Amino acid sequence: MEWLSVREVHISGGIRVLSYDRSCNFLYPGDMTGEKTTIEIQKYSSLFSDIKNLGLEVIGCDFFTGSHSEAPPEWRSKSSGWLTWDQGRDWSFIAHGAFIKGDSKLYDIATRISHQLRGCEWRVRQLSESYMDQLNAKLKSGDFKSDQRFLDGFTGLCYLAAQTFLVDACTLRDYLIEFYWHVKPTGAKNITSIGSLLKHWEKTPPLDPHGVKIQEISSQGNWLDILGSYRNLIIHAAPLATAGATLYAITGTVQLSNSVYLPFVKLPLPSDPGKLKADRTSGKHFDDPSLRRARFHNIIGSTEAVSALDSLTYANSCLEKLSIWAASLAELSPVEAEIPVIVPIAGSLKIT
């Protein structure tokens, strides 16, 4: 098979694989010096499995089919195939089907879901790009040792990208809730957010399979509840990087299957965002008899940083879960998904 496009594969930790053709494939950084290293890719279709065999986690891929200066790459996050990209397309088809049927409300909701799926997918790319910038800067400093905590000008940009994803992900969550309630036969009350839906269910618990599933994933400690807790911490309490102990970037190394060590960075998330928000809003967070904040000692501990969730890995995982949920809810659409077909006005099309 010919090489259909140039691909830049985003790997967790800020690492990249650059694939140009069969004989030109590089791992960057390819070693602890930060230089590129040639790797072997068997064929065009084996790129991702070959990367996985090295022991690396793929976040997504940029596909370049033309001049980079003329158009952005086609970005697709990698989870269950290209699920998020597929759902962004499929929900646009639902929107078109609603437009044909004259259902303006459904058209608007489906259009927003399609747009937000693509938006969240792009947010993951932005976060991955910020990781690469953070890793490159640390390597170029000449001071890279495993398990270092550090803070520089790129660290805040990483957390800004993570924070933006979390907010956008919860916007998508609420759009999906709005769709679910809009297509419910008994959805008389206008509900457009997870909070209002859960409050409604306190008196009238759901009986349908999709409602039961939403209630399950929104229960305390489950993935949609945790995602919402991060969003609420950001919106109602403090910026992500300084909501609790100040978050620093962490350096690390990963050993590949060929025994080569690669550098990477991790941007840890604060643990227990729900408790952290409660402590800040109650004022408990500011009970500081030892003046740790005033003395700049309020920094995430090394042990906590190592065990904490990684921002990029977490974002990619949430995007996959949201995409799976979106695919499930799409089954409830009262209209058929319709692929737009452009039909020229009679007499307006000339073939020369």
pLDDT in tens, 221-263: 999 999 999 999 999 999 999 988 889 999 999 988 888 889 9
3-state class of 305 per DSSP?
helix
Establish if 242 belongs to a structural domain. Answer: yes
Arithmetic mean of pLDDT, 26-51: 88
Establish if 311 belongs to a structural domain. Answer: yes
Measured distance CA(130)–CA(310) in Å, rounded: 13
326-350 residue pLDDT tens: 999 999 999 999 999 887 777 666 6
Q: Are 301 and 106 in contact (CB under 8 A)?
A: no
Other beta carbons less than 10 A from residue 294's beta carbon: 9
What domain range includes position 265?
81-332
Q: Strand order in 149-150's β-sheet?
A: 149-150, 249-255, 261-266
Residue linked to tokens 């990698």 = 78
Query: How much is the mean pLDDT over the chain?
Result: 91
Domains held by the chain: number: 1
Establish if 266 belongs to a structural domain. Answer: yes
Establish if 344 belongs to a structural domain. Answer: no
Residue linked to tokens 């803070």 = 151
Asked whether residue 296 carries a pLDDT value surpassing 80, the answer given is no
Cα-flanking dihedrals φ and ψ of residue 165, to 5°?
-60, -45
Arithmetic mean of pLDDT, 124-148: 95
* Confidence (pLDDT) at 156: 96
Establish if 294 belongs to a structural domain. Answer: yes
Instruction: Tell how strand 15-21 and strand 6-11 pair up.
Output: antiparallel
Establish if 21 belongs to a structural domain. Answer: no
pTM over 0.75: yes
What is the distance of C-alpha 160 from the center of its chain? 13
Cα-flanking dihedrals φ and ψ of residue 160, to 5°?
-65, -45
Establish if 108 belongs to a structural domain. Answer: yes
Measured distance CA(50)–CA(41) in Å, rounded: 6
Arithmetic mean of pLDDT, 97-104: 97
What are the residue ranges of helices labelled H in the chain? 47-54, 83-101, 104-140, 155-183, 194-201, 209-217, 223-236, 273-282, 302-307, 311-329
54-71 residue pLDDT tens: 999 999 999 998 766 678
From residue 327, how far is each of 31, 113, 180, 257 by CA, in Å? 40, 11, 12, 35
Measured distance CA(12)–CA(148) in Å, rounded: 18
160-180 residue pLDDT tens: 999 999 999 999 999 999 999
H/E stretch holding 191 reads none
* Confidence (pLDDT) at 100: 96
Establish if 128 belongs to a structural domain. Answer: yes
